Chains A and B, each alone.
Chain A
Amino acid sequence: MKQIINLTINDKKYEVAVDANLTLLDLLRYQLGLTGAKKGCELGDCGACAVIMDGKPVNSCLVLAVSANGKDITTIEGLEDENGLHPLQQSFVEKGAIQCGFCTSGMILSGKTLLDKNPNPTDKEVRSAISGNLCRCTGYQKIIEAVQSVDSDI
């Protein structure tokens, strides 16, 4: 049985028919072609699938698409605008915070939710904000530098 849901993704309104057991991650990736959110574990352990839902980072593999009905969602694809990369994306590129890139979407979105609330986070605050996002490549050092070095005026 499919169910119709309405949601906003990256400022665009969608009306989609989804199965009751479909996850938000699979909806994004396989039905809507938004493959920026990655599938690392499907158990809520890695954070590669993180998106922002109503202002909070969530692991989209744990969210049923039906429960995203009426929600406002930002994925990594929604950060770039006509002026180019979002300052945090730019900072990740410049600081060498990206290696394989599989954790990057989730990392950037977790970092962004932190910076939106707290433009000058401490090392500790950045570490806790991204502690649900695993990265096996970087040792986190340059990711933390990238989050902290975003110009807070922007």
Chain B
Amino acid sequence: MSNYDVINSNAPRVDTPAKATGKAIFIDDMSMQDMLYGALLQSPIAHGKILNIDVSEAKKLKGVKTVVTAKEAGLIPYGVSPARYDENIFCHDRVRYIGDEIAAVAAVDLETAMEAASLIKVDYEELPALLTIEDAMADGASLLHEKYPQNICAQVNQEFGDFEAGLKQADIIKTTKFKSKRQDGAFLEPQGCIADFNKLTENLTLYSSTQVPHYVQRILSMVLKLPIGKVRVIKPYLGAGFGIKAGTNTMEIASCLLSMQTGKPVKMNYSREQVFMFGRARHQFTHTMTTGAKKDGTLTALKNECYLDGGAYTSFGIATVYYSGSLLGGPYKLPNMKYDGYRIYTNKPACGAQRGHGGVIARACWEQQLDMIAEELCIDPIELRLKNMMVAGDITCNDFNMSSLGMKECIEEIRDSSEWNEKKGKLPKGKGIGMACGFFVSGAGYPIYRSDTYHSTAVIKLTEDGGTALLYTASSEIGQGSDTTMGMIAAETLGIPLSDFRIESGDTDFGVDLGAYSSRQTLMTGHAVYDAAKQVKEQILEVLAKELSIPVEDMDIKKGIILFKKSQPDFSKLREIYIKEHRGWTDNPNADEPLTFKEASRIAFLAKGIISGNGKYKPHQLGGKFKGAAVGTSPAYGCSAQIVELTVDKETGQITIDNMTDAHDCGLAINKVSVEGQMEGSLSMGLGEAMFEEVKFDSKGRIINANLAEYKIPTALDMPPVKAIVVESSEPNGPFGAKEVGEGAIMPTIPAILNAVYDAIGIRIFELPLTPERVYQAIADYKKRKGV
């Protein structure tokens, strides 16, 4: 039984009745009076110089209100990380991928805007399209960005401990190479926005489908040269994002420019094809890893080399290239780790952050290798992992503090609930079982720009009658359930029911919150909310203490009632005041009822005015001092272990996933049903990446499957039954002991599938996705090698 009244339960989410009835308003459900529609002109070629841009025909078209190019937009560079601001709003001298934005049009309707965009004439001098890492790094290849020789956008070389010395201690050494494919986030809601610039007040409001209103606000202010106080970003309900909506997109800026020019609201949307063209999802990774282990299974050293196909711009890429090294620091004890990562510019849409940022493919490569080591040493894969597992309090070689770590418990849970010991190595031919582990941050330890900013703030205000508490954060409900989580933390802390809270979020006017990325909101926004609620509670109890002459420590608030821990005081005078204030109201308390929160907060209002709490949070100083130490440091780490069972049809190469079991340590689960939902969703995304997802290009750099039929994501028929087991540790740095769940659960999925495939057919596959063709080919090659 939980000791809590609100949290640590299965709570129906506050936003879902609106979503179940079609009443929830998403960006494309909005419209404004006199609204114009915007359209973009995007490059039809992957690489070229712009010789001339002629907008005269477009401007002449009836219904067109304005056309903007780099001339109007200016050339202030922006991006995600200030260390690599390599984007301009519009291309002026160069286009770098099919889809690169050149101009935008606002017109009275969408058809006119699109027609006008097509009337803009651009003369190009085509350059060779560099579509692979090899082409981009070749001698003499042209540079996408002059500043970066060999098209190396970012390079990381790190060594923790001494890799060579570690390798010398090893009895067995394994080297494998592993390759993944570019992903698409494939959230169901295409990006959209409405910009509304008021020419009289010079206030700009952008409604946008963003995960990060705060960062968008800053970028808009910078590139549009507006004081930040004049820029407000509001996020309506969001049809998910998974990281792709965690940066500013061109459309967001373009719509603002168009609105500033016309003084009218301007709406813009990506089509599904444009969602693919904008990209910013998971990179294609090629890892080469060498791991050393002693005979008893003890890991001694890891060398990890990785090439990331970055696309035309950096986006989140600097963080990505660090993460694909740093996220192997745990959850196993690993004294020596060397990492060399290279992110390469190519003439394709930029890649960015996607669920499990940077770590997913590194994990897939390594966890498969660990199984190979286990096999050679005749150790059960689970035993190998348990042998090397870190425990709470351990610090990785790259300075991540595992302040809580229920990894062992996760492994035991999945092992027992899927009968691993009975099944491993004992299943009929063609059937396999595999497992893997992983961990992830609970929020990035540092903001994307260097700053001492609070990472989250929260305001709680009580209404003057005391009946309702209002919670305002600038956090982002993107589908993960953060509004409910924050409401639950607030309600628990203050001691009133969740239903007495009204929850507002996703608006830069409500405060500062870095947004929904790096699985940060439960821990970070949660802390700020806790802080605000505590302040409110203290203020109420202080007033009561004075009125009733009882020390604050002798009182508490629980379930909307004031508790007196020692003797029951006579509060009839307070009640009388309250009822007098509310004469004729139908919900006044009866004489025999205990003193309610409502009465107490009204009394507090009479004494002090509006009662409000002003919560804030930023992490304590984290991580090491080395270059790149900021990427991967976090106040806490969630972790997962997974088992996958599957069947391989050896004749066709078709894999059927039969079932999946995941155990995740999320610290204390605030809302258990949401925790399970995050786990189940992570597994389905991992399954898609493992089994079929791949963005494909033709020889000119055009995406050939920019739709949800040919870029296949899992349907209900592809998903097996999933068992989600919530493991709870107590995280000292989390609010009520809570930490992440949104991304960690995707970490083990791909390697667990790879390891199960090996168990089923005895063949290792080192490239994704596991399409029937690839699996069939692997079986055929194996037979040829073995001469059978």
Interface residues of A (CB under 8 A from B): 29-30, 34-43, 45-46, 48, 75-77, 79-80, 85, 89-90, 92-96, 98-105, 108, 123, 126-128, 130-144
Contacts and interface: CB of A to CB of B under 8 A. Distances in A.
Contact of B188 (A34, A76, A100, A130): A100
29 contacts: A36-B21, A40-B239, A41-B272, A45-B709, A77-B23, A80-B21, A85-B17, A89-B17, A93-B13, A93-B20, A95-B673, A96-B673, A96-B674, A98-B15, A100-B237, A101-B16, A102-B26, A102-B189, A127-B719, A134-B708, A134-B715, A136-B185, A136-B187, A138-B681, A139-B684, A140-B680, A140-B716, A141-B676, A141-B721
Given A40-B188, A96-B13, A102 B239 contact: yes
A139 B683 contact: yes
Contact of B707 (A43, A98, A136): A43
Given A45-B707, A134-B188, A99 B479 contact: yes
Contacts of B479: 99-102, 137
Interface of B: 10, 12-13, 15-26, 28-29, 31, 185-190, 237-240, 242, 271-272, 478-481, 673-674, 676-677, 680-685, 707-709, 713-717, 719, 721-722, 724
A100 to B, nearest CB: 3
Given A36-B22, A139-B719, A141-B680, 11 more contacts: A35-B28, A42-B272, A75-B22, A96-B12, A99-B481, A100-B19, A123-B721, A136-B240, A138-B677, A140-B716, A142-B680
A35 B19 contact: no
A135 B188 contact: yes
A134 B681 contact: no
A131 B716 contact: yes
B188 A42 contact: no
Given A136-B188, A144-B716, A99 B721 contact: no
Contacts of A89: 17, 20-21
A35 B29 CA distance: 6
Nearest to B187: A136
B716 A143 contact: yes
Contact of A38 (B31, B189, B708, B719): B189
A2 to B, nearest CB: 15
A24 to B, nearest CB: 15
Given A92-B16, A98-B20, A143-B716, A40 B272 contact: yes
Contacts of A42: 271-272
Contacts of B481: 99
Given A99-B240, A141-B722, A77 B22 contact: yes
Contacts of A98: 13, 15-16, 19-20
B717 A102 contact: no
B644 to A, nearest CB: 13
Contacts, number: 180
Nearest to B711: A45
Contacts of B683: 139
A26 to B, nearest CB: 10
**Most chain B beta carbons < 10 A, residue from A48, A108, A128, A142:** A142
Contacts of B26: 35, 38, 102
B20 A137 contact: no
B583 to A, nearest CB: 33
Which A-B residue pairs are the 7 nearest by beta carbons? Answer: A36-B22, A100-B479, A101-B19, A102-B239, A139-B684, A139-B680, A76-B22
B708 A41 contact: yes
A77 B681 contact: no
A85 B21 contact: yes
Contact of A140 (B10, B23, B719, B724): B719
**Most chain A beta carbons < 10 A, residue from B22, B187, B683, B684:** B22
Contacts of A34: 22
Contact of B237 (A46, A101, A105): A101
Contacts of B188: 38, 40, 46, 48, 100, 102-103, 134-136
Contacts of A133: 716
Contact of A41 (B29, B237, B707, B714): B707
B10 A100 contact: no
A35 B15 contact: no
Contacts of A144: 716
A99 B480 contact: yes
B3 to A, nearest CB: 23
**Most chain A beta carbons < 10 A, residue from B716, B717, B719, B722:** B716
Contacts of A38: 26, 28, 188-189, 239
A49 to B, nearest CB: 10
A35 B25 contact: yes
Contacts of B31: 30
